[in-house]
Structure 1
Amino acid sequence: MAKYPVDPTPHLPPGTSVVAPNPHRPQRGYVVLSGGVPIICDEWAIATLAPPVENEEYGDALEIIRHFLTNRRLPVRFTSRCGMGTALIQFMTVCDRDTAVNSGPYYIDDRVLRFVPQNRGINHREAVFTHDVWIMLLNYPLECWDIEAVTDAFVPYGSFLVWNKELSNRARILVKIRVYDILALTLSLVILSNSNDMGHGDSWTCPLFVLSYDLLGALTAEEDPLPPGGETPHPMPIQFNDVWPEPSHVPP
């Protein structure tokens, strides 16, 4: 988790405001994407001017960035406000983006301009997944026997890997997931479904049992040394040694 200051004001839709958080709201929640990120955004970068730019100066700051990139023959395709810097910049190509990122920082009068890839901002941290876990979820509702529903059920805990779908036993599902914290797995999982616009819905409580787990990142054995004298590293059992021709029978 990354801790950093943020000002939501420039990004609010007209006529809206931020509701003060209840002191009992959880400080963080996790969502684990299964199958990786769905969209590639390699042409995008975060542009940051220092000293920081006030909200009222956004238009002028954007013009400074555009003018600078144009002079360096790095055309801009699209721009947007950014919650972690001065602006989001979409370059025409990934090569242009990398050139802007790798050649900085840049000094423009009394300001410093930096670019970082859009997915490497101040909100980025490394995520370490520790275990592959087999889970049995008992009394899982039959209405949710669907790959998307099963995947979504484990979003707070880890990345979905395998559903061992056995139609002979509808009392439970067996799922393998990759977790970032095995201790975060709860003793039961409550499946919620909203059924109408009045806010009513259904919930099903499913006991969660860990069946087995494997620690990720364990070191494997080192390579074996080669046998001396050029012998094969894959010798046959003694009783099969006679399948090899005698040296005198080997064709020249």
Structure 2
Amino acid sequence: MANIVLNPGRFLEAGQHVQDGSPNRLPRADITVPAPQKQHEAYMLAEIEPQVHEDEWDVHRLQIRNHLQNELGIMVTHCSPHPLGVGLFAVRTTLIRDTLVAAFGFHYNGGHVVRFDNHDKGINWRVAHADRVGWIMFLGYPLDFRSTSYISRAVGLFGKLDYWQEVDAIPVRVLLRAYFDDVDLVPRRIVIKQFPNQGGQGESWTFGVFVLNNEFADLQPQDEDLPHVGAPPPPPDPPHHHGPAWDEINHHHGDEGVHLDSDKFLLAGPEVSVGRNEPVSSVASSYDALILPKAPVKKRDGKTILFDPVRRQSSRLRALSTDVAADPRMGIGKPRGKSAKKLKELAGITNLLSSGSILKESDFASDVHSETDSTPSDCSVSLLQKMGVEMCGLSLEEVAESKLGGQKLDLVPRPAKDEE
């Protein structure tokens, strides 16, 4: 706030007068508004030195306008009185205005110097603080005024609206975030008044204002670091990787014998004694968490299961398999038929069926199903002809049906070793 003294008499029209009211009149009212659009960038405020009485401002204002137009060759597009200075002037462009403002001043009547400022930077220009930001609750707020326009006007009495929660399960409550100067400057009650267009009796609504969580609004990050002078610093060293615990123990004990139980050492931690009754260092305990547990081994009837054919079968297939007898010819690595007899004879010659051997005579039992006749299945004559022509390159006469139906050839005897 600027404590300025203003004289309204110079700005009254004919027949107007001022009614000051009682001493209890409200000394001031604050309102916060958004930044306006700059539309008067060619306007400037004139101040003179040495100062003269306010009654002489009109004469000096005309002298300054004449000096700008006649002496400096600058067209003045506007000239009017101003309560805070000699007058308000406007030129053609913003560039000309900024040039005049940047100058130190101009002698215009031989005894006074005029200096120009921007139109919005007179003696009433002050800094405005918004040191706090936080949440505020309007309680008992009238429903018809729940809009950004009305809420922004209400907050403008003490601060600036930043955000408000439009969707709320409690309509008579308005939760908003705002910037304001101090908690003490936030009113406890706000009255919204509505007057009729023609004046007379209107309406008003009062609601409560409660300040909730808030903090300082001007918190800033740290300043940027200054660049390094000279060569850049070397990169940081990589973190030191400690070797396994037994490497440290071997390095500590040298070539001396170190006896430890690997399972107890990995699972017990620093309580295990190593070598000459010395406890394991803390480095050993840090590697205990890296030891993965052994995978459980499934056993059935005391035997380790290496392959379970029904593991991935559905319950329906397992139920059907119980009604079907197992085929004794199925198996992996089981000798059957003549092979079993020959292996049994070979085992007897080499004395593998002795009492201390792991092989037993029952392991070479012949399979009754292995001696069955393995006569090939019937095949059609047309298929045989097709196979003979396409695969063997025979002619049609050679694969005639009369030739394919001949008798079975006898086995050709092997020649004796003496005949070879």
The two structures share one fold, judged by TM-score above 0.5: yes
Q: Which amino acid aligns with 1:90?
A: A
Correspondence for 1:247 = none
- Cα deviation for residue 89 of structure 1 reads 0.5
Alignment of 1:24-63 (within 5 A): 24-33=24-33, 35-50=34-49, 51-52=51-52, 54-55=54-55, 58=58, 60-63=59-62
Per-residue Cα deviation, 1:71-119 (whole angstroms, up to 9, x for no partner):
2232211112111111100111111111111113222311221111111
1:13 matched to 2:13: yes
- In structure 2, what residue type is equivalent to 1:26? L
**C-alpha separation between the residues in 2 aligned to 1:57 and 1:161?**
43
Cα offsets for 1:218-242 (capped at 9, x unmatched): 24245579996447xxxxxxxxxxx
Tell me what 2:88 maps to: 88
Gaps of 5+ in 2: 237-420
Which structure is richer in relative contact order (CA contacts within 8 A, separation 6 or more)?
Answer: 1
CA contact (8 A) 2:57 2:87 kept: no
Deviation by residue 1:110-166 (Cα, 9 ceiling, x = unmatched): 122111111110111111111112111111101101211111111210111112111
The aligned residue for residue 236 of structure 1 is none
1:2-36 deviations in whole A, cap 9, x for unaligned? 11222111111221011123200122221111x21
Return the alpha-carbon distance in structure 2 between the equivalents of residues 220 and 87 of structure 1.
44
SS of the aligned residue for 1:65 comes to: helix
- Cross-structure match for 2:136: 135
- Aligned-pair Cα RMSD in Å: 2.3
Contact 2:57 2:86 in 1 (8 A): no
Change (3 A) 1:223 1:81: closer
Structure 1 pair 73–203 and aligned structure 2 pair: CA distance change class (3 A)? same
Which amino acid is the alignment partner of residue 217 of structure 1? D
- In structure 2, the partner of 1:235 is none
Conserved 8 A contact 1:76-1:91: yes
Per mean C-alpha deviation after superposition, the further-off stretch among 218-227 and 12-21 is: 218-227
**CA distance, structure 1, for counterparts of residue 88 and residue 225 of structure 2:** 51
Per residue, is there more helix in 1 or in 2? 2
Specify whether residues 66 and 194 from structure 1 end up closer, same or farther in structure 2 by C-alpha distance, changes over 3 A only: same
2:118 paired residue number: 117
From the superposition, tell whether residues 56 and 129 of structure 1 become closer, same or farther in structure 2 (CA, over 3 Å). Answer: same
Structure with larger Rg: 2
Q: State the Cα deviation string for residues 21-54 of structure 1 (Å, max 9, x = none).
A: 3200122221111x21244322111112343254
C-alpha distance in 2, partners of 1:63/1:188? Answer: 50
Q: Aligned residue pairs: how many?
A: 229
The DSSP-based 3-state class of the residue aligned with 2:107 is strand
Q: TM-score, normalised by structure 2?
A: 0.51
Contact 2:65 2:79 in 1 (8 A): no
Q: For 2:180 and 2:193, how far apart are their aligned partners in 1?
A: 22
2:200 matched residue in structure 1 = 199
- Percent of residue pairs bearing the same amino acid type: 26
Task: Indicate the residue corresponding to 1:160 in structure 2.
Answer: 161
The CA distance in 2 between the partners of 1:177 and 1:100, in whole Å, is 39
SS class of match (2:85): coil
| Contact map agreement 1:134 1:177 (CA 8 A) in 2 | yes
Aligned equivalent of 2:247: none
1:81 and 1:223, CA in 2 relative to 1: closer, same or farther beyond 3 A? Answer: closer
Whole-Å separation in 2 of the counterparts to 1:224 and 1:170? 49
Which residue does 1:250 correspond to in 2?
A: none
**For the residues of structure 1 that align with 2:222 and 2:101, how far apart are their CA atoms?**
40
Q: Aligned with 1:78: secondary structure?
A: strand
2:77 aligns with 77
**Distance of 2:83 and 2:57 partners within structure 1:** 15
Whole-Å separation in 2 of the counterparts to 1:110 and 1:142: 64
> Any idea what SS the aligned residue of 1:66 has?
helix
Query: C-alpha distance in 1, partners of 2:56/2:122?
Result: 23
Distance 2:88 2:25 in 1: 30
Amino acid at match of 1:43: A
Structure 1 stretches lacking a partner, 5+ long: 232-252
Aligned to 1:234: none
